[in-house]
């Protein structure tokens, strides 16, 4: 099925080689805005550092900068824009609310707009959850919904510990950070997330996932494991920020069985994977599991801020006001979100993401054969990652060090005990990945990095991307890879 935006901007021509920020009048404004941003905004600013773009217009996959340049946007608001920028059904839904005279701020009061959103959302949920679902509208970021989920299971179980996974990303507020892979919190027990390429057991595949599951099981079964009976387990069905790592379906089913057997609520963080992104409406559907709690944000607001948790009614034991917040009633986001959910459902965009994602993955995997600096290509649906490695770096690194060929600090060097020939993947190459991202931008393609060492180039295009646009994305990425490989002899 060829799904296209009703009136997509044409695929922008690849960049013609002029330096960034053309000397036109717009270019001058563009430079001034960027200069003022770096002078005024905090050192913590994120995407803005790597993407010196001043977006002024956008539609579908395409963003236009103040300097007149156009880009294919495969960052999509960090995976938010299921329908791309300014999709007509989203704009129409927003306009309808604005024109209706409805209040825009309503705290958590009932409104027809909210009622429609909840109805549409429940329609998409796994039926076994939808039949008994409760919804909590949270503060408007994914991280607040994660906080709510953690609070909910702690209240419902009366326990405090949490099981979370290596490489996880759940947000930037205190509880969500604790549960994320960079944290060092004693209340959170870290378990191995299965991964093929950098498998902690050195084998990958179903056997690696099996060992990861066994570790979790032994920890739960062992009365002397030192891990108190936890309040919940939180996982991403595909780790996004962690480097685009899809959990095997069999492993997810094991996690579901184990948590059920031990009466541990299972929280699926679908903030990034939801609304068709992975090739199913919700990524848990691939494995058929039904979590006890789902954390939803990003695409459910149709590009505006919205975050909720949905959970089974027997967990609904918290007190009135247990998770309050002023901004939990964004009417425009609910209208945009309901329109997005309906559009994805009615147009089978999850299937489209599965088909197109498989094709793009295949094309990128073919590229990996050409370029030794591509260590791995992986993904699910339109959540795709290309991991850059140092081809001269020797396998299976274990300690902090420096990559000899590039002089770039890498987190690891070889360990003669563990690293025999063919013992593991090549070291991550964050500098090469950053060079690819910059080369993509020069070619009018916006991508971001992720992964443990920021060495994974990530593609999160809208589900509405046309075949022609997808081909342009792969072409530009291939061209960027070729340029970087040439320059770095990689
Ligand atoms: N969970 C996951 C899986 C995410 O990818 C993110 C954001 N990248 C979050 C939670 C946090 O969402 P937010 O940035 O809206 O707080």
Q: Classify burial at 343, counting beta carbons within 10 Å of its beta carbon; exposed 0-12, middle 13-18, buried 19 or more.
A: buried
Q: Cα dist. 374→243, 302, 369, 396 in Å?
A: 14, 34, 8, 16
Q: What is the pLDDT of residues 275-323, one digit of tens each?
A: 999 999 999 999 999 999 999 999 999 999 999 999 999 999 999 999 9
Ligand 1 atom index nearest CA of 241: 5
Chosen domain end from 319, 346, 373: 346
User: Same structural domain for residues 210 and 278?
Assistant: yes
User: Same structural domain for residues 337 and 454?
Assistant: no
Contact (CB, 8 A) for 4 and 464: yes
User: Same structural domain for residues 449 and 367?
Assistant: yes
Residues of the chain with pLDDT under 70: 1-27, 183-186, 395-423
Cα–ligand 1 centroid distance for 299 (angstroms) = 11
pTM for this model (two decimals): 0.91
Cα–ligand 1 centroid distance for 168 (angstroms) = 10
User: Same structural domain for residues 58 and 141?
Assistant: no
Residue 332 structural domain: 91-346
Does any domain span residue 338? yes
Does any domain span residue 15? no
User: Same structural domain for residues 355 and 342?
Assistant: no
CATH number at residue 484: 3.90.1150.10
Chosen domain end from 346, 377, 403: 346
Per-residue pLDDT, 183: 66
User: Same structural domain for residues 73 and 135?
Assistant: no
Q: Cα dist. 178→166, 168, 175, 182 in Å?
A: 12, 10, 5, 8
User: Same structural domain for residues 329 and 362?
Assistant: no
Question: In the structure, which protein residues have their CB atom closer than 6 angstroms to any atom of ligand 1?
Answer: 78, 141-143, 146, 169-171, 236, 240-241, 269, 271-272, 297
Does any domain span residue 369? yes
The distance between the two most distant Cα atoms of the chain, rounded to a whole number of Å, is 70
CATH number at residue 252: 3.40.640.10
Total number of domains constituting the chain: 2
Q: What is the pLDDT of residues 412-467, one digit of tens each?
A: 445 555 554 445 799 999 999 999 999 999 999 999 999 999 999 999 999 999 99
């Amino acid at each position: 099925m060829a799904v296209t935006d009703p009136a997509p901007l044409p695929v922008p021509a690849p960049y013609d080689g002029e330096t960034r920020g053309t000397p036109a009048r717009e270019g001058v404004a563009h430079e001034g805005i960027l200069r003022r941003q770096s002078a005024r905004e905090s050192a913590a600013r994120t995407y803005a550092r790597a993407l010196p773009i001043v977006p002024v217009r956008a539609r579908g996959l395409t963003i236009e900068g103040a300097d007149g340049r156009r880009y294919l946007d495969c960052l999509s608001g960090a995976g938010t824009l299921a329908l791309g920028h300014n999709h007509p059904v989203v704009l129409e839904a927003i306009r309808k609310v604005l024109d209706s005279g409805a209040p825009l701020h309503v705290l958590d009061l009932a409104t027809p707009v909210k009622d429609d959103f909840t109805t549409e959302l429940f329609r998409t949920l796994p039926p076994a959850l939808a039949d008994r679902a409760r919804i909590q509208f949270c503060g408007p970021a994914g991280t607040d919904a994660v906080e709510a989920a953690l609070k909910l299971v702690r209240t419902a179980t009366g326990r405090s510990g949490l099981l979370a996974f290596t490489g996880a990303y759940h947000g930037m507020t205190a509880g969500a950070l604790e549960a994320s892979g960079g944290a060092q919190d004693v209340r959170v027990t870290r378990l191995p997330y299965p991964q093929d390429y950098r498998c902690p057991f050195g084998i990958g595949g179903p056997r690696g996932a099996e060992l990861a599951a066994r570790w979790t099981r032994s920890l739960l079964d062992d009365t002397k494991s030192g891990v108190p009976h936890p309040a919940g387990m939180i996982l991403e069905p595909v780790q996004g920020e962690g480097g685009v790592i899809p959990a095997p379906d069999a492993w997810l089913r094991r996690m579901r069985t184990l948590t059920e057997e031990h009466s541990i609520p299972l929280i699926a963080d679908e903030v990034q994977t939801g609304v068709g992104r992975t090739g199913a409406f919700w990524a848990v559907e691939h494995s058929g599991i039904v979590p006890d709690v789902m954390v939803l944000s990003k695409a459910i607001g149709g590009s505006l801020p919205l975050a909720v948790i949905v959970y089974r009614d027997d967990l609904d034991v918290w007190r009135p006001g247990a998770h309050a917040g002023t901004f939990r009633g964004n009417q425009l986001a609910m209208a945009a979100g309901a329109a997005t959910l309906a559009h994805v459902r009615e147009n089978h965009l999850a299937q489209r993401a599965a088909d197109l994602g498989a094709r793009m993955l295949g094309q990128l995997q073919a590229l990996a054969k050409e370029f030794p600096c591509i260590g791995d290509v992986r993904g699910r649906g339109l959540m795709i990652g290309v991991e850059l490695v140092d081809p001269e770096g020797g396998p299976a690194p274990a300690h902090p060090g420096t990559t000899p060929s590039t002089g770039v600090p890498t987190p690891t060097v070889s360990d003669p005990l563990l690293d025999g020939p063919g013992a593991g993947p090549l070291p991550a190459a964050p500098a090469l990945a950053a060079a690819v991202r910059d080369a993509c931008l020069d070619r009018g393609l916006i991508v971001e990095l992720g992964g443990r060492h920021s060495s994974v180039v990530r593609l999160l295009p809208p589900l509405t991307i046309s075949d022609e646009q997808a081909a342009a994305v792969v072409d530009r990425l291939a061209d960027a890879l070729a340029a970087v490989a040439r320059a770095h002899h990689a």
